[in-house]
Protein backbone atom coordinates (compact mmCIF):
# COMPACT_ATOMS: atom_id res chain seq x y z
CA UNK A 1 0.00 0.00 0.00
CA UNK A 2 1.29 3.44 -0.94
CA UNK A 3 2.07 5.88 1.88
CA UNK A 4 0.94 9.52 2.00
CA UNK A 5 2.44 12.52 3.73
CA UNK A 6 1.06 16.04 4.02
CA UNK A 7 2.71 19.42 3.54
CA UNK A 8 1.16 22.72 4.52
CA UNK A 9 3.18 24.82 2.15
CA UNK A 10 3.28 28.16 0.42
CA UNK A 11 1.83 28.33 -3.09
CA UNK A 12 5.26 29.52 -4.32
CA UNK A 13 6.30 27.17 -7.13
CA UNK A 14 9.93 27.24 -6.02
CA UNK A 15 9.20 25.30 -2.84
CA UNK A 16 7.01 22.49 -4.17
CA UNK A 17 9.65 20.07 -5.49
CA UNK A 18 12.09 20.54 -2.59
CA UNK A 19 9.30 19.70 -0.12
CA UNK A 20 8.10 16.66 -2.08
CA UNK A 21 11.65 15.33 -2.45
CA UNK A 22 12.44 15.98 1.23
CA UNK A 23 9.34 14.12 2.39
CA UNK A 24 9.99 11.16 0.12
CA UNK A 25 13.64 10.92 1.16
CA UNK A 26 13.20 11.53 4.90
CA UNK A 27 9.80 10.05 5.70
CA UNK A 28 9.45 7.25 3.15
CA UNK A 29 6.23 8.55 1.64
CA UNK A 30 5.13 7.78 -1.91
CA UNK A 31 2.81 10.76 -2.31
CA UNK A 32 2.62 14.22 -0.77
CA UNK A 33 -0.73 15.92 -0.36
CA UNK A 34 0.25 19.54 -0.92
CA UNK A 35 -1.95 22.05 0.89
CA UNK A 36 -0.95 25.45 -0.42
CA UNK A 37 -1.75 29.03 0.45
CA UNK A 38 0.28 32.23 0.18
CA UNK A 39 1.93 32.52 3.60
CA UNK A 40 0.28 29.61 5.44
CA UNK A 41 2.59 30.06 8.43
CA UNK A 42 1.08 33.52 9.03
CA UNK A 43 -2.50 32.32 8.44
CA UNK A 44 -2.28 29.50 10.98
CA UNK A 45 -0.10 31.34 13.52
CA UNK A 46 -2.50 34.28 13.68
CA UNK A 47 -5.51 31.92 13.59
CA UNK A 48 -7.80 34.89 12.92
CA UNK A 49 -9.13 34.32 9.41
CA UNK A 50 -11.68 31.62 10.17
CA UNK A 51 -12.41 30.91 6.50
CA UNK A 52 -8.75 30.33 5.57
CA UNK A 53 -7.92 28.39 8.74
CA UNK A 54 -10.95 26.11 8.27
CA UNK A 55 -10.08 25.61 4.61
CA UNK A 56 -6.57 24.45 5.51
CA UNK A 57 -7.93 22.20 8.27
CA UNK A 58 -10.50 20.62 5.94
CA UNK A 59 -7.75 19.73 3.47
CA UNK A 60 -5.50 18.30 6.20
CA UNK A 61 -8.54 16.27 7.37
CA UNK A 62 -8.79 14.63 3.95
CA UNK A 63 -5.09 13.83 3.88
CA UNK A 64 -5.02 12.42 7.41
CA UNK A 65 -8.43 10.73 7.55
CA UNK A 66 -8.87 9.55 3.95
CA UNK A 67 -5.30 9.07 2.75
CA UNK A 68 -3.92 7.91 6.10
CA UNK A 69 -1.14 10.49 6.30
CA UNK A 70 0.83 10.15 9.54
CA UNK A 71 3.22 13.07 8.93
CA UNK A 72 2.51 16.76 8.35
CA UNK A 73 5.26 19.17 7.40
CA UNK A 74 4.55 22.80 8.26
CA UNK A 75 6.68 24.84 5.88
CA UNK A 76 8.04 28.36 6.12
CA UNK A 77 10.40 29.73 3.49
CA UNK A 78 12.65 32.62 2.56
CA UNK A 79 11.52 35.31 0.11
CA UNK A 80 7.81 34.63 0.68
CA UNK A 81 5.65 37.08 -1.29
CA UNK A 82 2.54 36.09 0.65
CA UNK A 83 4.17 36.76 4.01
CA UNK A 84 7.11 39.16 3.45
CA UNK A 85 8.58 39.21 6.96
CA UNK A 86 11.98 38.56 8.50
CA UNK A 87 13.22 34.99 8.98
CA UNK A 88 12.84 35.06 12.78
CA UNK A 89 9.16 35.98 12.42
CA UNK A 90 8.65 33.15 9.91
CA UNK A 91 10.29 30.70 12.29
CA UNK A 92 8.07 31.80 15.16
CA UNK A 93 4.94 31.62 12.97
CA UNK A 94 5.91 28.18 11.67
CA UNK A 95 6.32 26.88 15.23
CA UNK A 96 2.95 28.36 16.27
CA UNK A 97 1.31 26.83 13.19
CA UNK A 98 2.84 23.47 14.02
CA UNK A 99 1.41 23.66 17.54
CA UNK A 100 -2.07 24.40 16.18
CA UNK A 101 -1.95 21.50 13.72
CA UNK A 102 -0.64 19.21 16.48
CA UNK A 103 -3.68 20.16 18.63
CA UNK A 104 -5.98 19.18 15.77
CA UNK A 105 -4.17 15.87 15.17
CA UNK A 106 -2.50 14.65 18.37
CA UNK A 107 -1.72 11.23 16.86
CA UNK A 108 0.05 12.64 13.79
CA UNK A 109 3.68 13.73 13.67
CA UNK A 110 3.82 17.46 12.80
CA UNK A 111 7.23 18.85 11.84
CA UNK A 112 8.13 22.53 11.39
CA UNK A 113 10.63 23.16 8.60
CA UNK A 114 12.39 26.12 7.03
CA UNK A 115 13.46 26.45 3.39
CA UNK A 116 16.45 28.74 2.91
CA UNK A 117 17.61 30.82 -0.06
CA UNK A 118 19.29 27.74 -1.61
CA UNK A 119 16.03 25.73 -1.30
CA UNK A 120 17.54 23.52 1.40
CA UNK A 121 15.19 22.28 4.09
CA UNK A 122 15.93 22.06 7.78
CA UNK A 123 13.84 21.18 10.81
CA UNK A 124 13.13 24.13 13.09
CA UNK A 125 14.12 23.35 16.68
Helix segments in 1-125, DSSP class H:
16-27, 40-46, 50-61, 87-104
Q: Which residues of 100-114 are buried (b: 16+ CB within 10 A; e: fewer)?
A: bbbeebeebebbbbb
pLDDT along the chain (125 residues), means of 10: 96 96 98 98 98 98 98 97 96 98 98 97 95
The CA-atom distances, in angstroms, between 50 and each of 20, 43, 46, 88, 112 are 28, 9, 10, 25, 22
**Which pLDDT score is estimated for 72?**
98
Q: How many residues would you count in the chain?
A: 125
Confidence (pLDDT) at 1: 85
In the chain the domains, ranked by start, together with CATH numbers, are 4-123 (3.40.1050.10)
Amino acid sequence: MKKFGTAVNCMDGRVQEPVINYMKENYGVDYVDMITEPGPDKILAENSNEFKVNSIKERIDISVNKHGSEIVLMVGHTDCAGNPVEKNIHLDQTIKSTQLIQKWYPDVKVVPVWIDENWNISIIN
